[in-house]
Amino acid sequence: MAWKGESDGRMRSEGVIGFVSGAGKSFLGTASRVVRSRSRGRGLSCSLSEPFVRSGSAFDYPRIVTLSTSVNDWVVQRGLPSERPDILGLCTWFVVLYFGFSDKIRLGTALRKMMAESLEQANVGKDVAEGIATAFHTFPFIFGALFIDSVLRGGLGPGFAASGGISLSLWAMIFELGRPRERSEEELEEERQAFQAFCEFAEKSLDRRGRCHYVEVATEFRRQYPKYRDPRVLNDQVLKRFVASWAPAARRTKAGYYKDLSVKTDSIRDVF
């Protein structure tokens, strides 16, 4: 009769060996089915409910993916990164490319305007050109973000791609906060009309010599053109830009006095 402890140890050992043997047979059976499927020359197809081991050795790629091996092999054969696009990386690099680092205008807005102008020159209606440009101007930035994220993830790793995209996107947002607000076509047209009215006023009421204060110019202009009497319609900052555009040689001091600019005392003042 065998010793009870020896019998128990033998039983445990045989149980462990049987479990390992059964697991190995199960794994080898699954691996052989995968190999037979590949040997038929047909790529594996699967759904989200049927994942399979990534192409290559099961020990080299212990990750489960849902892409078909045919697509993955096609990408690898052409030297492209086989990593799937990362949503966070795609969004951050899109923000970097679309908003850019200009302190005047977004890169996306500049491209949209260029596309609209090109379509208008091609005898496309203004409204149609604006619609097409608005709908398609983001596509180059999406493809660019996808390319940058894929290259960085494949070459330098996902950590570098993610950290670089987040850092640069924060800088792009800082530039966006410092940029002036984009104005609509109606606002730009109103400003053009206001500048035209100021030029008419300046030709008959201002002289590019002498000295005067800004308040004198603003008061006289608003008196002759009651439409712009309300500062909410035409504020002082815009009016100062009008003065600088009409008389670029005039210099304004910190106290608000202009040199080489004055209001004509004998000018004809038409009150509308």
- Among residues 31, 60, 80, which one ends one of the domains? 80
Gyration radius (Cα) of the chain, Å: 36
- Res 77: pLDDT: 52
**91 and 174 within one domain:** yes
Weakest mean pLDDT among 35-44, 154-163, 244-253, 259-268: 35-44
pLDDT interval class at 183 (50, 70, 90):
confident
Rounded to an integer, what is the distance from CA 216 to the centroid of its chain?
Answer: 45
Residues 96 and 174 in one domain: yes
Containing structural domain, residue 33: 1-42
Residue 247 lies in a domain: yes
Spatial separation of the C-alpha atoms in residues 16 and 25, rounded to whole Å: 14
Return the structure tokens found at 60.
Answer: 């080299």
First vs last C-alpha separation in the chain: 126
Among the candidates 178, 203, 233, a domain finishes at 178
Average pLDDT of the segment spanning 176-194 = 82
Are residues 167 and 247 located together in one domain of the fold? no
The answer as to whether 217 is a domain residue is yes
Strands 206-207, 262-263: pairing kind? antiparallel
Stated pTM of the model: 0.46
**pLDDT band at residue 21 using 50, 70 and 90 as cut-offs:** very low
* 270 within some domain: no
Give the pLDDT confidence score for residue 85 in this predicted structure. Answer: 57
**17 is a domain residue:** yes
Q: How many domains does the chain have?
A: 4
16 part of a folded domain: yes
Say whether both 91 and 174 belong to one domain.
Answer: yes
Residues 76 and 95 in one domain: no
Q: Which residues pair with 251 in a beta bridge?
A: 259
C-alpha 148 chain-centroid distance: 13
Q: Is residue 272 part of a domain?
A: no
Residue 124 maps to a domain: yes
Whether residues 170 and 223 fall in one domain: no
Q: Give per-residue pLDDT as tens, 69-88.
A: 444 454 445 544 445 557 88
> Domain check: are 145 and 191 in the same one?
no
Give the C-alpha separation, 209 to 261, whole Å: 5
Range from 24-33, 74-83, 85-94, 255-264 carrying the lowest mean pLDDT: 24-33
Q: What is the pLDDT of residue 1?
A: 41
Asked if residue 268 is part of any domain, the answer here is no
Same domain, 47 and 104: no
Alpha-carbon distances, residue 214 vs 36, 220, 240, 247, 257 (angstroms): 88, 10, 8, 13, 6
Domain boundary among 178, 200, 229: 178
pLDDT of residue 266: 63
